[in-house]
A and B are shown apart, each in its own frame.
Chain A
Amino acid sequence: MHPRIYRITQFTTIMKEITSQPQIELVFDPSNNTTTQSQSHCDPPVAKKCSLSFSLTPILTKFHAGYFRISLSLCSQALLWKILGEPPHNAHALRQLFSFLPSTAFALLWSIALSTLAFLSLIYILRCLFHSEMVKAEFLHHVGVNYLFAPWISWLLLLQSSPFITPKSVYYIVLWWVFVVPILVLDVKIYGQWFTKGKRFVSVAANPTSQISVIGNLVAARAASKMGWRECAIIMFSLAMAHYLVLFVTLYQGLAGSNSLPAMLRPVFFLFIAAPSMASLAWVSISGTFDNAAKMLFFLSLFLFLSLVSRPNLFRKSMKKYSLVWWAYSFPLTVLALASAEYAEEVKGGMAHVLMLGLSALSVLVSLALMVFSATNTNMLVLDTLPVSTTNRSSDSQQSDSVPIL
């Protein structure tokens, strides 16, 4: 058998094992591949299928919804730049600074975000077509399923930051429906599972990535209130907040079940920041002013940010080597910066503007650094450089990491 097919079949076998075998089977030692390879022989139909779609298969098999972290970051950056680039009339001097940013920079960023998102979406659609069983496995995974929200959130963010579609236009409304319906369907599925289905109740299924589902609703609420649909916005907002309350309490309790996030995935703890900030943004656009409720949500987000930043040991293990999960840092920081921009606009104090400036600079820097890291570590990101014959330890462990993460 061709070595590449070995790898592929091995991978698919592992995928099957994940869904069927008890956990001890999964901890395979990268040094002795012989056992897993011998297992792969017993599954000829999968190998045959893989060899048919030869060129795309490695991409499609390795791809997963977690890659939409990149588009989330880029789209939220685009929104941040858009909001910062349009200072209100009586803005603070520090805010006026941003109006010197060339508008072409924003247009460039927006188009980069658009193309990235379109590219990722295309790949994912292909994956759905050719490897629906893998998508299904992702859907059943308690971390992976939450990233199915990510593409729709990215599209909604991109829609809100779009330079040429105004919120009142028909395109906006149509696109809003297109992107919100999948979110609602996923909501019904996931939230329903939390309190009805026997084995997926919330104390077991909840993990920090579950907050993406809440964020999805909040982004939709913000977009709806921008186009003037206040009732829809309130529906989405209340739906999100009710489940956010449950989720926040459950996550904070640190029950044994929700405590089982692998160390490599620790950066997603930053999503703790994103949800209250997004809620604050949504509430501002619904209520029209940055009132006390919005402030409290923003302050909670700020406190969680400080709390996470002050314990770097939590992230030490995941920071040893570049991985895709790093992109999880960028999106929450950007959302926090967005909320701080709204806050500074309301409070108009010097401190508030310094805070906004600092958080915006931080989020931009983090995003830039992540882009640079991703560009220099393309062999881990770009999929067709999948190591074929090399059986060195690093690539294997990389793969074994990415399997359960999905």
Chain B
Amino acid sequence: MVMENNKFMDHAKQNSPEEIPSLLQFLSSNEVEGFDIVGGKKGLNNQSQPSEIKPLNSSAMVTDTADVQSQSKESHHHRKDSVSISMPSSPFRSDEFQTPKSVAFNLSEKESSTMISDSTAGGIPMHAKSHSQPIPKGFVVERTVENINFTHHPSVASRFRDRRFDSFKTWSGKLERQLTNLRGGRPQEVGPEEETKKSEMETNLPVDRYFDALEGPELDTLRASEQILLPEDRTWPFLLRFPVSSFGICLGVSSQAILWKTLATSESTKFLHITPLINLVLWFIAVALVVVIFSVYLMKVIFYFEAVRREYYHPIRVNFFFAPWIALLFLAMGVPPSITKTLPGALWYVVMTPIFCFELKLYGQWMSGGQRRLSKVANPSNHLAIVGNFVGALLGASMGLKEGPLFFFAVGLAHYTVLFVTLYQRLPTNETLPKELHPVFFLFVAAPSVASMAWARLQGSFDYGARIAYFICLFLYFSLAVRINFFRGFKFSLAWWAYTFPMTGAAIATIRYSNEVTNVVTRILAVTLSSISSLVVTALLVTTILHAFVLRDLFLNDIAIAISEKRPKHHHHRKWLHHLRHGSSDHKDIENYLKFSPEGKYVEACVDPRSTENEESIENKV
């Protein structure tokens, strides 16, 4: 440990000769154990090595050490300022983390990796923004820590939790404070900034804040000028870092189960001699994944309801709330024939009910034309909100129902038309549409492919309607595939899993089509598309494993849920700069033109602008 720390010091000196924090100076003349455990009195480190606690005698040290020490979610340290000391730390490899003592070090890993890169690139200021930083390395260690913590989450650990995360908890920490008081713990006084934070949490964020504060095709990176409510420099509790887009994994795997079931049972692919065992194995994996992800997200709903709420108001994440139910539909469709061949009809109604409720909410928002009208929030990920209808129609029709599936098909078709036209138009008022191609565009393929199968089921044959939908799907697929070069150079995200199921859907639709029109071309097409989709899923699996266990950045801090409600002071300046940068100043002009066109004046005249705004805010709460 001493050696490690010396290394650490050397590195620190190389990197940042200009400012060495007092802590380091202190540490160089003190023994190392103290560094590890300072402040750990209340934390988990305590449990692993309770005897080694050494109180620090330097009062100036305490705050600094705390900052360094507590980057893991377990840091139950309690502090008010979020000053980061930009601690350069050791260039540890993960294999060097062997003793539990080292846990505390991974906290500053994120910083350290920046520092390393900085040192190679030349002097860059030390407080580089963390959202652009790659790859913290302490993932496995953190995971173990989290798992330990999980078991005593509410009861033991709550007393010592870092209060800055309280605002995202289900009762904003009120109940837990009361419990602490009951147990005779010291009453925690609430500072004024905590109060303001709390009041921010209670109001719904308007959608414009998401557009202003975040950027990127998935609106998940923070703009440079913005601040967030949670500490950027530390790793948040696991549940806060677990996004709803994780359900994409379920979509990807369970659709693979359907694909292999179709390959094994279809007439046209009999010559491949695929064993139904693959379907069985994939299906059980999918079931296990669904159960795990459902239960983890359920915990997030229970313990961090505020975070879930903020995800729900996020204009892109809200679409992923359809993913769990679609995954359930996929599971029902991919059920291996060896397990059961007929499903109870009630199951369909149970799964479709939440989809229907979300649809009422989301489509109503589009139609009633408030803040979240479609011309503003349209994005390829809205396809997730549409495709549930077609998947439901497909499942219901194959279960033998008649009117219910047709209902969802009709609703889906109407809204798909609207969305399709809107996305093709690329309106200047659409703020979230990715400027360049992105894997999310593969969702374009999803709806027509599933719709063609659903229509074929509803009609009883693969008729012209089904074929039209299928050929549209095929065209969209190819038009995306020839642009495959553009898909390079994106940061991996978990949401990509959701973008694989359209390929699988296209492959399944092709198999259905080749059942109808059986010749060499359709068979080759079916086999090609199936293998592409399986390869993509495999590649994605490898990438995910790589990110999870080697690079350890699968669950980064979920910046998107922690944006602040207040705009930064220099907001206008930044906006202006932003426009200049993107060269799209005509954007606002068009909207203004639409607003103040000669026709507009009659109706606008009689509306009191204040009352309209009030009403819009009411509507957005509906």
Contact = CB atoms under 8 A, between A and B. Distances in A.
Contact of A257 (B363, B403, B595, B606): B595
B417 A204 contact: no
7 contacts: A252-B366, A255-B429, A257-B594, A263-B611, A269-B368, A313-B615, A404-B605
A265 B413 CA distance: 28
Given A295-B403, A299-B406, A313-B618, A205 B599 contact: yes
Interface string B580-622: 0000000000010011011111111111100110010011011
Contacts of A252: 366-367, 374, 415, 418, 422
A299 B604 contact: no
Given A26-B606, A199-B597, A314-B368, 12 more contacts: A23-B604, A23-B605, A26-B602, A142-B599, A258-B369, A262-B606, A295-B410, A307-B367, A311-B368, A311-B622, A314-B622, A404-B606
User: Contact size class for B?
Assistant: 35 or more
Contact of A400 (B375, B422, B606): B606
Interface string A251-293: 1111111111111110001001000100000000000000010
Nearest to B372: A254
Contact of B594 (A143, A256, A269, A349): A256
B615 A296 contact: no
A141 interface: yes
A401 B611 CA distance: 14
Contact of B375 (A253, A302, A308): A253
A18 interface: yes
Contacts of A403: 606
Given A143-B603, A245-B417, A253 B594 contact: no
A403 B606 CA distance: 9
Listed residue (A23, A251, A260, A405) with the most chain B CB atoms within 10 angstroms of its CB: A260
A253 B410 contact: no
User: Contact size class for A?
Assistant: 35 or more
Contacts of B406: 292, 295-296, 299
A316 interface: yes
A248 B413 CA distance: 12
A254 B599 contact: no
A199 B599 contact: yes
Which 8 A-B pairs have CB atoms at the shortest separation, nearest pair first?
A254-B373, A296-B410, A26-B605, A23-B601, A254-B369, A257-B594, A299-B410, A404-B606
B364 A307 contact: yes
A300 interface: yes
Interface string A174-209: 000000000000000000000000011001110000
A253 B603 contact: no
Listed residue (A141, A143, A253, A347) with the most chain B CB atoms within 10 angstroms of its CB: A253
A3 interface: no
A317 interface: yes
Interface string B377-420: 01000000000000000000000000100110111011101100
B373 A297 contact: no
Listed residue (B594, B597, B605) with the most chain A CB atoms within 10 angstroms of its CB: B605
Q: Interface SS of chain B: helix, strand, loop or mixed?
A: helix
B350 interface: no
B422 A253 contact: yes
B615 A263 contact: yes
B421 interface: yes
Contacts of A295: 403, 406, 410
A26 B375 CA distance: 29
B318 interface: no
A207 B413 CA distance: 22
A228 B414 CA distance: 30
Interface in B422-436: 422, 427, 429
Contacts of B421: 249, 253
B612 A263 contact: yes
B414 to A, nearest CB: 5
A170 interface: no
B413 A310 contact: no
A58 to B, nearest CB: 21
A22 interface: yes
B226 to A, nearest CB: 26
A181 B132 CA distance: 65
B458 interface: yes
A306 interface: yes
A26 B418 contact: no
A263 B619 CA distance: 12
A373 interface: no
B409 A296 contact: yes
Interface string B446-481: 000000000000110000000000000000000000
A259 B369 contact: yes
A317 B594 contact: no
Nearest to A252: B418
A300 B373 contact: no
